[in-house]
Structure formats: C-alpha cells, structure tokens
Amino acid sequence: MGGNVQVNDAYAIWITGVPGCGKTTIATKVAELLGADVTHLQLDRVRKVITPTPQYTEEERNIVYASLAYMAHLLVDSGITVIIDATANRRRYRDLARELIPRFIEVYIECPLDVCVQREQSRDAGYAPTKIYARSGQGGTVPGVDVVYEAPLNPEIVVRSDLMDADSCAYEIVEYVGRARAEAA
C-alpha cells in the first residue's frame, strides 16, 4: 500500500467575545496573516442565510450555532483552517464545536463593556445589526446586557482588545496557532 500520507494541520479558531470587542476586525487580520487555505466564517453573514429575518431567540441561536459548528467541522475535515467569528453567548455552542473538531482553538477577546458600547456606536455595521447597544435594556437580546454571555472557562488564548490594537491581538493569535501546529507535528 503506497502513496503519500497527508497530514491535516487545519484548525478551527473560534473567536468569541461580546459585541463590539473587535472579533471581526481581529478575525479578518488573523485570516490575512494565516494566508491560503483559510476560511473566515462570520456569524452575521452566515445568519443572513440561515435566518434571513433573525429573531435572536434561544431556539434560533441553538440552530445557528450548531450549523456554524458543523460547517467548521466540515471545513477542518477537508484540510481548511477556519476562523469562526461569533459571539456564541453560551459556552455550550463553543463546546459543541470543540467536541466535533479535534484541532480546536478558542480565543477570548476580552474587553470592558463600556469600551464595546463606545466602539459599536461608530463601527461600520456591514452584516452586523446596527446600534445593538442602543436597543439593549428595552427587551432586546444583546449578549452581555439583555442575555447572558458566558465567557470561556479555559480558552486556549485570551487577548485584551482594550489594551492592544487589532494587529497585536492578531499576531498573538497567529503565534499561538503556529505553536499548536508545531506541537502537533
């Protein structure tokens, strides 16, 4: 039985944190630094397909996050590193991905809520809903304000986006991924 044996060194990198902490900016920079064979799954883009008129209910979140975890699983199984850019306010959403994907890295973007609120007011929304913090406290569904945000208990890496710029955060994440790949080899 001959042939080449290919080693799959693809990873799933789940970047989590409350809205406005810098997930998308940092995830985009990580994808650029990692280069080829990387897919960036941005929750707000994926959600537009799965739930075009989102209600942000618990049942809807269960479906969306399970779908996201399974997409990431398929990509990593195919040899493609995937960056998951999603709040995932419940640990169980991220834990499902960890169960499905052996090469899983959870990144927690830590940032005080007041800084996130300030950033969100001036960000280019793109696919993200706008002015989410302005609607919080009025029956909204904002993680960390209206609904619980369960910070990771044991993330592989934590970066403080209030103390470091996005480039520095991305470099730290990429360095961690490089060390993880070297240790697995």
Instruction: Note the pLDDT of residue 1.
Output: 41
Nearest Cα to 116, choosing from 25, 28, 22, 16? Answer: 22
Instruction: Note the pLDDT of residue 117.
Output: 85
Quick: pLDDT tens for 11-63.
999 999 998 899 999 999 999 999 878 999 998 888 888 888 888 888 998 99
DSSP 157-179: EEEETTTS-HHHHHHHHHHHHHH
Distance CA 32, CA 63 (A): 29
3-state SS, residue 142: coil
Confirm whether 165 is domain-assigned: yes
Q: What is the mean pLDDT of the chain?
A: 87
Confirm whether 6 is domain-assigned: no
Confirm whether 158 is domain-assigned: yes
Q: Which domain holds residue 116?
A: 12-184
Confirm whether 3 is domain-assigned: no
Torsion on CA atoms 159, 39, 45, 21, rounded to nearest 10:
10
Instruction: Note the pLDDT of residue 128.
Output: 53
Confirm whether 5 is domain-assigned: no
Q: Which residue positions in the chain have pLDDT lower than 50?
A: 1-6
Whichever domain contains 117, its CATH number is 3.40.50.300
Distance CA 152, CA 90 (A): 9
| CB neighbour list of residue 21: distance below 8 Å, 6 or more residues apart | 109, 110, 111, 116, 119, 161
Distance CA 76, CA 68 (A): 12
Instruction: Note the pLDDT of residue 87.
Output: 92
Instruction: Note the pLDDT of residue 2.
Output: 44
Domain count, the chain: 1
Confirm whether 7 is domain-assigned: no
3-state helix, strand, coil in the chain (%, to 5): 45, 15, 40
Distance CA 42, CA 27 (A): 9
Which one-letter amino acid corresponds to residue 57?
A: T
84 φ, ψ to 5°?
Answer: -100, 115
